[in-house]
Each structure stands twice: as C-alpha cells, then as structure tokens.
Amino acid sequence: MKLYMQTPRNYQKELEKILCGLEGEDFVPPGLLLHSCCAPCSSYCMEYLREYFRITVFYYNPNITEREEYKKRVQEEIRLIGAYNRQAEEWESAQSGSGGVIKRVDERQKAEKRKPFKIKIIEGDYEPSCFLDMAKGLEDCMEGGERCFRCYELRLRETAKQAKKLGVDFFTTTLTISPLKNAAKLNEIGERLAGEYGVAWLPSDFKKRGGYQRSIELSKEYDLYRQNYCGCVFSKRAAKEE
C-alpha cells in the first residue's frame, strides 16, 4: 500500500495570486482590515500591502496584560502609521498635474511599484480580562500550544466582527510574520471565521520572501520599540526563564 504525504499549503503563493488578480488599468483598491499585534510586525505587512489595499489597522490585543505595555505598543503603532501616511502624501506631491509623470523622487519612491494608499487605524477595547478568562485552565501550557491557539481565535474573531461591521472586502493578521507563530493554524482559524462572518480571509505567511527580516530592518529604520514577548503574563514569564 502506498502512502501519500499531503503537501503543505503555501499561503504566501496564495496571497501573491490574489494580489496579481488586483492589477489592471481599472484597479480599485479593496478594503482590508489588518489585525496588528505590534508596530514591528505590522511594519513589513503594511509596506507590502499598502499598494494593493485601503488598509485599516485594527489594534486589538487583550493578551497584553500590563496596561503600560499596552499603551507603549499602541502608540508605536500610531507613530509608524503616521510616518507611512506622510510617505503616501509625498508620493502624491511627487506627481505632475498631468500624465502621471514623477517630477521628483527619492530612492524609496523609486522602489514603489504603485501608489501607496494611506492607512487608517482603529483601536479596539482594551480588555485583558477576556484573555485571562479564556486562559483559565491553560496557564501551564507551553508557548505555541493550545492557549496560544485560543488567543489567536480571540483576536481574529473580534477582527472578523469588525470587518463585517465596516463592510471591508478582506481581513487578515500580522501574526503570521513571526517565526514563533503557527501560520497554518492562524490561516485555518481565519478561514473558518470568514465562513461564519461572510468576509473573505486574506491568506498570508508574511515571514516568507524575507518578510521577517524586512520587519527587523524597518524596526531599526523607524526606531521602533521591539518587545521580546508577545504581551501576556505567560509569555513574559517564559521570556524571563529563557
């Protein structure tokens, strides 16, 4: 009897196929609700996707159980989005009044294949009690296990709800950029929630094609606060032990 191994899905290629389908003379950027876990992780995701989508960042992270840490991270997200939006304004001002001829460009603008759209941000409710209630009985789970999977769903479910409320075309998360996060599980949860809420899930594995390395470069470029744990008391404890 022959055994056949199932080939793992390549979520990056699936994303690229969707992006290719968005190109054309009559291109109208669809709306994307991008759940963000932090500014460093979102840096590459926004840089990559802002030429294809009207992005609204949804900052919802009840897993960040210390208020000061939460405030610090959300302010970094706002600061980064402000910098990206200034770049979009510069791109606009670099265009001539007719023919779309660029009058002046810097090195970054030369690298832009398409117009970068401005980005909005919505801050969700800060409700760490929701995360702690969800984690009851799972306090001793290893990082990357069942507790993390339920945390993924907690955040993605709220993102899907907001996506339906806003009427956007897609929703997704920056979490797949991390080498420590399970991209297959995140996409599995996202696809299931897409079926529940009737909003398309944008598949991703943002760490691929140098995405994670690019996020490190962008963190340095924008001097972003780069934390060493995901935000919850359990990951902080694990980081200290390591």
25, pLDDT greater than 80: no
Angle, CA of 189, 162 and 232, to the nearest 5°: 60
* 103 pLDDT tier (thresholds 50, 70, 90): very low
- Which pLDDT tens digit goes with each residue over 156-189? 999 999 999 999 999 999 999 999 999 999 999 9
112, pLDDT greater than 70: no
* 101 pLDDT tier (thresholds 50, 70, 90): very low
Q: Among 201-205, 220-224, 235-239, which is the least confidently predicted range?
A: 235-239
Tell me the chain's radius of gyration from C-alpha atoms. 19
CB 137 within 8 A of CB 160: no
* 94 pLDDT tier (thresholds 50, 70, 90): confident
Which run of H or of E encompasses 122?
A: strand 120-123
Higher model confidence: residue 237 or residue 168?
168
Higher model confidence: residue 227 or residue 159?
159
Q: Which residue has the tokens 């993390």?
A: 148
How many Å apart are CA 140 and CA 117, to the nearest integer?
43
Strands of the sheet with 31-35, listed across from one edge = 120-123, 54-59, 31-35, 170-173, 200-201
In the prediction, which pLDDT does 6 show?
A: 66
pTM of the model: 0.90
In the prediction, which pLDDT does 7 show?
A: 78
For the chain, the average pLDDT equals 89
201, pLDDT greater than 80: yes
In 143-185, beta strands by DSSP E: 170-173
In the prediction, which pLDDT does 190 show?
A: 98
Q: Among 61-65, 81-85, 111-115, which is the least confidently predicted range?
A: 111-115
CB 153 within 8 A of CB 189: yes
Which CB contacts under 8 angstroms, 24+ apart, belong to 46-50? 46/80, 46/81, 46/84, 46/119, 47/84, 47/214, 47/218, 48/206, 48/211, 50/84, 50/88, 50/116, 50/117, 50/119
Task: Taking residues 4-22, report their average pLDDT.
Answer: 88
238, pLDDT greater than 80: no
Task: Taking residues 219-225, report their average pLDDT.
Answer: 97
